[in-house]
């Protein structure tokens, strides 16, 4: 597939697309996009959990010197196992939510608020059961080479030293952030795409450059809005508790506002957006690859994400 490829959208919105199609297309798109952007994701996680100033290149040199170039894909296997069902569920729930809101009138155009609500529901549904895998991915991205012989020894160590609760550390911040991000991303993406199609009424095809522009715009807005919550979640995921926490510490772990304020007080506004550069390097290509592959598969099957 190249940038001259076009995606047919003619009469697509009038077809009742089956659930399995969204599960298949979303799963494939998520797996491909995450593998392509795995190095940037590891750099982002490493920078997010640092409390001192660390440059992008310093992080790259440290990670490569620690485990070699291939170590930049450390944790990608579990990441793909997580992102494949996650993307499948997200797109499937998003489509079903839109269908529910439309009711009997399948041609009715949704408002941006309705699309946001559908995206938020889809984001939450796709994350709740799979969140422990995100915690494992974060831990794998941060540990030194050779500390664990595999995923199972790390899981055993976490259970013995931190308990079952460690697999949902940072979930509150993550859940709020992902609902806001998915709501904004999907709503803005479809709204901008619909605006383009309305402006180009004579066109019945969608070019990849149009998809790239739409998803870059929507992802940028979503990332800037929700990044502090993603950073907070990563820090809580990486936090290892070797002794029993005091009541005040357990309360603080569940108070997102106080935690964000503490980061701002200690590190400034830069601290809330630490690692956002590699995050953009990862998220924007990842979102673009996801949407292009998703739209391509949907188009091959004679439908469209409308």
Q: Lowest-pLDDT range, 11-25, 70-84, 92-106, 138-152?
A: 11-25
Q: Residue 8: helix, strand or coil by DSSP?
A: strand
Q: What domains are there in the chain, each with its CATH number?
A: 7-300 (1.50.40.10)
Q: What's the rounded mean pLDDT across residues 45-54?
A: 72
Distances (CA, A) of 47 to 16, 84, 159, 277: 44, 25, 26, 10
**In the predicted model, is pLDDT for residue 224 greater than 80?**
yes
Q: Lowest-pLDDT range, 58-67, 198-207, 235-244?
A: 235-244
Buried b vs exposed e over 104-131: b needs ≥16 C-beta within 10 Å?
eeeeeebeeebbbbbbbbbbbbbbeeeb
Contact predicate 205/150, CB 8 Å: no
Q: Which residues contact 107 (CB under 8 A, 6 or more apart)?
A: 13, 14
d(CA 194, CA 172): 33
Q: What's the rounded mean pLDDT across residues 150-176?
A: 81
**pLDDT top residue among 106 and 261:** 261
Q: Residue 206: helix, strand or coil by DSSP?
A: strand
Q: What is the pTM of this model?
A: 0.71
**In the predicted model, is pLDDT for residue 118 greater than 80?**
yes
Q: What's the rounded mean pLDDT across residues 169-193?
A: 88
Give the model's pLDDT for residue 247: 35
The vertex-289 CA angle with 128 and 174, nearest 5°, equals 25
**pLDDT top residue among 71 and 149:** 71
């Amino acid at each position: 597939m190249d940038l001259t490829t076009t995606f047919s959208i003619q009469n697509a919105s009038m077809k009742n697309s089956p659930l399995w199609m969204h599960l298949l297309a979303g799963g494939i798109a998520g797996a491909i996009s995450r593998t392509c952007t795995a190095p940037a994701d590891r750099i982002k996680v490493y920078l997010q959990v640092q409390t001192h100033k660390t440059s992008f290149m310093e992080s790259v040199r440290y990670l490569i010197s620690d485990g070699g170039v291939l170590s930049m894909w450390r944790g990608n296997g579990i990441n793909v196992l997580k992102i494949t069902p996650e993307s499948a569920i997200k797109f499937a729930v998003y489509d079903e939510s839109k269908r529910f809101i439309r009711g009997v009138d399948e041609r009715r155009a949704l408002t941006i608020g309705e699309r946001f609500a559908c995206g938020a529901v889809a984001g939450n549904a796709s994350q709740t059961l799979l969140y422990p895998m995100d915690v494992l991915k974060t831990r794998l991205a941060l540990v030194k080479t050779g500390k664990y012989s595999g995923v199972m020894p790390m899981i055993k160590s976490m259970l013995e030293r931190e308990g079952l609760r460690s697999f949902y550390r940072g979930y509150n911040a993550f859940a709020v952030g992902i609902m806001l991000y998915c709501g904004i991303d999907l709503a803005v993406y479809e709204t901008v795409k619909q605006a383009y199609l309305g402006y180009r009424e004579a066109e019945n095809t969608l070019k990849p450059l149009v998809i790239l522009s739409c998803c870059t715009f929507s992802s940028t807005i979503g990332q800037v809005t929700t990044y502090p919550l993603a950073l907070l979640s990563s820090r809580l995921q990486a936090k290892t508790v070797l002794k029993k926490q005091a009541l005040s510490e357990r309360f603080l772990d569940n108070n997102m506002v106080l935690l964000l304020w503490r980061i701002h007080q200690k590190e400034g506004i830069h601290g809330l957006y630490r690692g956002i550069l590699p995050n953009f390097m990862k998220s924007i290509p990842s979102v673009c690859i996801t949407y292009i592959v998703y739209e391509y598969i949907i188009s091959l099957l004679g439908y469209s994400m409308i």
